Structure 1
Amino acid sequence: MTILTRRNVLKAGAAAAALPLIGIPRAFAQEKLKVGFVLIGSPDDNGWNFGHDQGRKKMLDALGDKVETTVVTNVAEGPDSERVFRELAQQGHKLIYATSFGYGDYVHKVAKQFPDVKFEWATGNQTAPNLSTYNARFHEGRAVIGTIAGLMTKSNIGAYIGSFPVPEVRMGINAFAIAARKVNPQFTLKVVYVDSWFDPAKEADAARALIDQGVDIITQHTDGPAALQVAEERGIVGGFGQGADMSAFAPNAHLTAIIDNWGPHYIKSVQAVLDGTWVESSVWDGIASGEVEIGPFNKKIPAEVVAKAEEVKKAIADGSLHPFAGPLKDNTGTERVAAGDVIDDGEFWAVDWYVEGVQA
């Protein structure tokens, strides 16, 4: 593996450049496929970036003798990312993963310049002949943890710390609130955006302010455990890990976590490039396929609450429950989804409203 920050390079282990094959004619020495991963943060965030790096490692475990990977960390969603994508393509990487929504304009621009390189954009919403999108149905996991929140809150006030008001974040907020209010119609959800995917200081400050307003259960769509650590300090009911199990940071407050399992997708798409079968596509998997997992439940969660959460998880997996099934009203009282209808996959990306009970 090659891990790059903006100026530092480290080579290690199975993904480092192959040693010369003594005694084997050069024509028969097969080059490894070079695969690049561009991360907005670092794998040590124990959240979003950690999840993608774990997926990369699972892919190497399965295909490592055929693959060499390069990881570029702490790449901001801006012009600098364009430079990184271009440099990876120029260095011979034939498959490059852009793992954050804000990379979209830049990875599309570079993909046009390198038509023989395959690109994949995580949480993206537009493909190209050599650029696919892949995502996870995080909102399905939000329905499970929202059920727990609605049943365990004592104040009936929850909080959701968001990164940016983009579709994937709004999906999670709405799914969480819908599920919580199904089991507790008195539940309300306060939403605060911190304008960053990873800013522990802002996340912690937001958590403290929300708890001061009566919130006793908290979740987030940001990449680290800062909000959970505040929940632990303040002794509220608890909160939920995002992207990975964060219980080590808040053993009492951490109720469970949405765990991103990117390994199966990375194995499948890398193998497709190796086989010459890769084609432009949009992949959106969830609980049923195992890409979205629910972590271990904290022992303090009552058995009946665990049972209800498992029931919701099972129903989503078998298709008998849709997190956005109508009737649904927005937080102004306007009906948005009629009884018997659902928000389908194509409509999700246009949702710019919040459901009943959400204060945002």
Structure 2
Amino acid sequence: MTHRRQFMLCAAAFAVAATLPLSAAAEAPAKVGFVYVSPIGDAGWTFQHDLGRKALEAAFGDRIETRYVESVAEGADAERVIREFAASGSKIVFATSFGYMNYVERVARQFPNVTFLHATGYKSAKNFAPYNARFYEGRYLNGVIAGKMTKSNVLGYVGAFPIPEVLQGINAFTMGARSVNPNVEVRVIWANSWYDPGKEREAAMTLISQGADMLTHHTDSTATVQAAEEKGVHAFAYHSDMSKYGPKAQLTATTHHWGEFYKRTVDAVLAGTWKPEGVWGGMKDGMIKLTPLNPAIPEDVQTMVRDLEAKITAGSFHPFTGPVVDQAGTERLATGAVMDDAALGKMDYFVQGVSSRLPNAK
């Protein structure tokens, strides 16, 4: 049975439940919906969110009932799925992709008694708020390793879309690499999709053909890591551990962990204490972690990375500490200053060291 068929059957069941006596309805579990942009699979962005959903089920037991729809495009289909969750009894809806933001905003106005949470966006209202993780923290550390280990001084990056979230990662990766090796350059190829294994592989192969011996990606599939394994270069996985697809290639991975956030949020909603406050958690919150470092990384580099990781976690070091200079040579952040969240959230440029140009750059 397809997930969409299951969803429709659940909707019918909820309609029947609405006719039950108040005492029976009060005993019903709270419905929690998840909207996924790509297939769950066994690795990647959606896989990590689904691990969070499962952690939620384990923590709350029969107090809640979770539902999900995967592979929902960022368009009219997303609005329909979000609205169906709200209309069929969901108390909480988690929409897990940037392109869902405007649809969440629209549906939230129509269902003021439903709580909506939106991943990686920036809008909010009385009954919906954004949540995000500081992906750039792991990216900076990946860059340090890449800068130390590259032989060609060419690093490759497969990107989805040129939005602030993705640009933060590219720039942090570049700054980390250039902090230890000022001769490196980062080349970016856009897949123009969050999940398209064919395009992701093609981009990775092109970067390798251009001399990149270190790859990473801000896309959902394992294609980049697999391409690196096939061609004998190194890679840094993203979202989740992809070492089984590239045991030699993957040096480490920047992984996302949503379970504790989901549990805190659902607990607050059920207790009536939830407030529409944006959440942007990082290493100190356990939302971003590195996977075990590949033994191929020299011991001195491993020590350097662990020391930086500890400083980031403690809050004594921020990857975007000035000077930050863009491709045109313009200083975006003065020496010693730390970039605030407002500036990070509006990032629309590449830093020095990225040799590619933004699609809208003149």
SS at match of 1:158: strand
In 1, the alpha carbon distance for the partners of 2:127 and 2:84 equals 17
Query: Residue 191 of structure 2 corresponds to which residue in structure 1?
Result: 194
Query: Residue 88 of structure 1 corresponds to which residue in structure 2?
Result: 85
In 2, the alpha carbon distance for the partners of 1:59 and 1:172 equals 28
**Is the 8 Å Cα contact of residues 330 and 353 (structure 1) preserved in structure 2?**
yes
**Is the 8 Å Cα contact of residues 132 and 281 (structure 2) preserved in structure 1?**
yes
Query: Residue 245 of structure 2 corresponds to which residue in structure 1?
Result: 249
1:258-273 to structure 2, matched below 5 A, reads 258-273=254-269
Q: How far 1:188 moved relative to its partner?
A: 0.6
SS at match of 1:195: coil
Instruction: Return closer, same or farther for 1:202/1:28 CA change in 2, 3 Å cut-off.
Output: closer
Structure with greater helix share of residues: 2
Query: Residue 109 of structure 1 corresponds to which residue in structure 2?
Result: 106
Identity of aligned residues (%): 48
Query: Residue 205 of structure 2 corresponds to which residue in structure 1?
Result: 208
Q: How far 1:61 moved relative to its partner?
A: 1.1
**Is the 8 Å Cα contact of residues 40 and 75 (structure 1) preserved in structure 2?**
yes
Q: How far 1:332 moved relative to its partner?
A: 1.7
SS at match of 2:82: helix
Q: How far 1:305 moved relative to its partner?
A: 1.2
Aligned counterpart in structure 2 of residue 136 of structure 1, from 121, 125, 133: 133
Aligned counterpart in structure 2 of residue 225 of structure 1, from 222, 225, 233: 222
Q: How far 1:258 moved relative to its partner?
A: 0.9
SS at match of 1:145: helix
In 1, the alpha carbon distance for the partners of 2:259 and 2:87 equals 26
Q: How far 1:178 moved relative to its partner?
A: 0.4
**Equivalent residue letter for 1:312:** L
**Is the 8 Å Cα contact of residues 224 and 242 (structure 1) preserved in structure 2?**
no
In 2, the alpha carbon distance for the partners of 1:166 and 1:210 equals 21
TM-score relative to the length of structure 1: 0.93
* Structure 2 unaligned blocks of 5 or more: 357-362
Does residue 234 (structure 1) correspond to residue 231 (structure 2)? The answer is yes
SS at match of 1:299: coil
Per-residue CA distance 1:304-338 (angstroms, 9 max, x = gap): 11111111111111111111111121112221111
Query: Residue 38 of structure 1 corresponds to which residue in structure 2?
Result: 35
Q: How far 1:65 moved relative to its partner?
A: 2.2
Query: Residue 59 of structure 2 corresponds to which residue in structure 1?
Result: 62
Aligned-pair RMSD on alpha carbons?
2.0
SS at match of 2:342: coil
Aligned counterpart in structure 1 of residue 158 of structure 2, from 157, 161, 165: 161
Aligned counterpart in structure 2 of residue 184 of structure 1, from 181, 184, 195: 181
Does residue 331 (structure 1) correspond to residue 331 (structure 2)? The answer is no
Moved over 3 A (4+): 3-12, 25-29
SS at match of 1:324: coil
SS at match of 1:288: helix
In 2, the alpha carbon distance for the partners of 1:275 and 1:129 equals 17
In 2, the alpha carbon distance for the partners of 1:100 and 1:316 equals 26
Q: How far 1:26 moved relative to its partner?
A: 4.5
TM-score relative to the length of structure 2: 0.92
In 2, the alpha carbon distance for the partners of 1:4 and 1:289 equals 36
Query: Residue 276 of structure 1 corresponds to which residue in structure 2?
Result: 272
**Equivalent residue letter for 2:69:** V
Q: How far 1:264 moved relative to its partner?
A: 0.6
Per-residue CA distance 1:137-188 (angstroms, 9 max, x = gap): 0001101111111111110110111000000000000000001000111111
SS at match of 2:157: strand
**Is the 8 Å Cα contact of residues 155 and 185 (structure 2) preserved in structure 1?**
yes
SS at match of 2:283: coil
Q: How far 1:59 moved relative to its partner?
A: 1.2
Per-residue CA distance 1:55-84 (angstroms, 9 max, x = gap): 111111111221100111110000111111
**Is the 8 Å Cα contact of residues 7 and 67 (structure 2) preserved in structure 1?**
no
Instruction: Return closer, same or farther for 1:117/1:10 CA change in 2, 3 Å cut-off.
Output: closer
Q: How far 1:256 moved relative to its partner?
A: 0.7
Instruction: Return closer, same or farther for 1:45/1:197 CA change in 2, 3 Å cut-off.
Output: farther
In 2, the alpha carbon distance for the partners of 1:99 and 1:132 equals 12
Per-residue CA distance 1:24-65 (angstroms, 9 max, x = gap): x95596111100000001210510000000011111111122
**Is the 8 Å Cα contact of residues 4 and 10 (structure 1) preserved in structure 2?**
no
Count the aligned residue pairs. 348
**Is the 8 Å Cα contact of residues 51 and 262 (structure 1) preserved in structure 2?**
yes
SS at match of 1:70: strand
Aligned counterpart in structure 1 of residue 144 of structure 2, from 143, 147, 158: 147
**Is the 8 Å Cα contact of residues 287 and 316 (structure 1) preserved in structure 2?**
yes
Q: How far 1:11 moved relative to its partner?
A: 9.3
